[in-house]
Amino acid sequence: MSTAQNIRENVKEKYGQAALRVSSGQGAACCSFTADDGCADPITSNLYDSQQAGSIPEDAVLASLGCGNPTALAELKPGEVVLDLGSGGGIDVLLSAKRVGPTGKAFGLDMTDEMLALARENQRKSGFENVEFLKGEIEHIPLPDNSVDVIISNCVINLSADKTKVLQEAFRVLKPGGRFAVSDVVVRGEMPIEVRKNVELWIGCVAGAMEEQEYKTKLAAAGFEQIDLEPTRIYRIEEAKAFLHNSGLDIESFGAAIDGKFASMFVRAQKPGAGASPEKTIMDVYDPAMCCSTGVCGPAPDPFLPRFAADLEWLSSQGIEVRRHNLSQEPAAFAENESVKAALTLEGTDCLPMILVNGAVVSKGKYPVRYTLARWSGVNTGLPALELPVISNKGCC
């Protein structure tokens, strides 16, 4: 058996076991199979907010072996065709189906029978009809040329023994102007080979991870343009220690060599063509009732609101169309938007502020910081990849 075949069979076995673990009620799937206390590893944990997780079957969430949340970053639009490479239990496919709506289509591609069975059961539970799960390998995508608007993937491409072929296939099936928007684990800089081999023993999710510049080079060689890799989570030695507590490996002996060297990244690229210019991104902010349009006046304004207003102004300077609606001044705007109207009916004004990007709800009940706003809008801030705390939601006065 060749090395590539051996890797493929090992991946199939691992992910088949993960699917059976979930479907048999034993709990969540994990990147590590050394843990005996559930699944609390730093790679797969806390990737989906409660609103996303609550909108799909629990088994789809439990089966996730991803390292990011590509559906939250890919700017999916109604009517688009999406393909998830290595779709697992179907979490990102189902979330994509919700975003593209009944006029769109979400495909999931997986080579593992157990995962496909679990994904199709999750589809049945969710009721989505615009979803189709395909059996196949990501190196040989069973779809025609120029048939997909967006390709997503969640910590799967790094597991392939032939990443060049995967990227070539992704380019082939994308329509002209189509978008490549995946989450993947990436190596940041040089790492001693013996250290890398040790790391790959304990965490399947980083096995085969490419170095950052290598990833860019392979994407360019496949024909992609507008290539960008944005860190979304950088793994520190403290996380490795927590993950490796019962692995039997001597963390201290190589800890410094891996500290900060692995990161989950959002990888963006685009296939050139007639439709290559992306549509303008629109962000709508639905504020609670405030005395003015920005909420920064009055006798006791919220001290965080001036910063939020400045962050929105910065987004506008980056080409994002920002539209802000104040409940006390534009009540009709709240009634006209079905998502906002439904949230107000169910939750009252506690759901405010609400933030929508291209019509899709991305946040409720809080004002986020610049890094998060930029991430939702597809703008690179150049800031470190950490999830900063959200700011106040109490309004101006």
- Judgement on whether residues 175 and 233 belong to the same structural domain of the protein: yes
- Judgement on whether residues 30 and 147 belong to the same structural domain of the protein: yes
The pLDDT of residue 295: 61
Overall domain count for the chain? 2
The pLDDT of residue 48: 44
Evaluate whether residue 393 is within a structural domain: no
Our measurement of the distance from residue 345's CA atom to the centroid of its chain's CA atoms, rounded to an integer in Å, reads 29
- Judgement on whether residues 262 and 299 belong to the same structural domain of the protein: no
Check whether 109 has a pLDDT greater than 60: yes
- Judgement on whether residues 339 and 262 belong to the same structural domain of the protein: no
Check whether 287 has a pLDDT greater than 80: yes
Taking only the tens place, the pLDDT of each residue in 332-358 is 999 998 889 988 998 899 999 999 888
Check whether 327 has a pLDDT greater than 60: yes
Check whether 154 has a pLDDT greater than 70: yes
The pLDDT of residue 188: 81
pLDDT-derived band at 90 (thresholds 50, 70, 90) equals confident
- Judgement on whether residues 219 and 264 belong to the same structural domain of the protein: yes
Domain final residue pick, 212, 236, 270: 270
The pLDDT of residue 22: 47
Name, of 36-40, 244-248, 310-314, the range with top average pLDDT: 310-314
0.85 exceeded by the pTM?
A: no
Backbone angles phi, psi at 393, to 5 degrees: -130, 20
Which range of residues forms the domain containing residue 154? 3-270
As a whole number, mean pLDDT of residues 181-195 equals: 76
The pLDDT of residue 15: 52
- Judgement on whether residues 229 and 346 belong to the same structural domain of the protein: no
More confident residue, 325 or 292: 325
Evaluate whether residue 352 is within a structural domain: yes
Taking only the tens place, the pLDDT of each residue in 237-252 is 776 665 555 555 566 6
- Judgement on whether residues 240 and 292 belong to the same structural domain of the protein: no
Evaluate whether residue 111 is within a structural domain: yes
Name, of 163-177, 226-240, 373-387, the range with top average pLDDT: 163-177
- Judgement on whether residues 366 and 255 belong to the same structural domain of the protein: no
CB atoms within 10 A of CB 115: 29
What's the Cα-to-Cα distance from 221 to each of 188, 224, 231, 267, 269, rounded to whole Å? Answer: 20, 7, 22, 15, 12
Q: Give DSSP secondary structure letters for 280-313.
A: PPEEEEEEPS-SSSSS--SSS--TTHHHHHHHHH
In contact, 282 and 319? CB cutoff 8 Å: no
- Judgement on whether residues 27 and 83 belong to the same structural domain of the protein: yes
Check whether 386 has a pLDDT greater than 50: no
pLDDT-derived band at 174 (thresholds 50, 70, 90) equals very high
Check whether 204 has a pLDDT greater than 60: no
Nearest to 358 by CA among 372, 330, 337: 337
- Judgement on whether residues 246 and 326 belong to the same structural domain of the protein: no
What's the Cα-to-Cα distance from 28 to each of 18, 37, 72, 387, rounded to whole Å? Answer: 8, 11, 21, 23
Q: Give DSSP secondary structure letters for 68-111.
A: S-HHHHS---TT-EEEEES-TTSHHHHHHHHHH-TTSEEEEEES
**Which CATH number characterizes residue 339's domain?**
3.40.30.10
As a whole number, mean pLDDT of residues 295-308 equals: 73
pLDDT-derived band at 49 (thresholds 50, 70, 90) equals very low
The pLDDT of residue 383: 52
* Average pLDDT taken over every residue of the chain: 76
The pLDDT of residue 261: 78
* CA–CA separation, 64 and 31 (whole Å): 9
* CA–CA separation, 290 and 267 (whole Å): 39
Evaluate whether residue 275 is within a structural domain: no
Name, of 80-94, 203-217, 262-276, the range with top average pLDDT: 80-94
The pLDDT of residue 361: 79
Alpha helices, DSSP H, located in the chain:
3-23, 50-53, 58-62, 70-73, 91-100, 113-126, 163-173, 193-202, 212-222, 237-243, 251-258, 305-317, 331-336, 338-347, 370-377
Evaluate whether residue 391 is within a structural domain: no
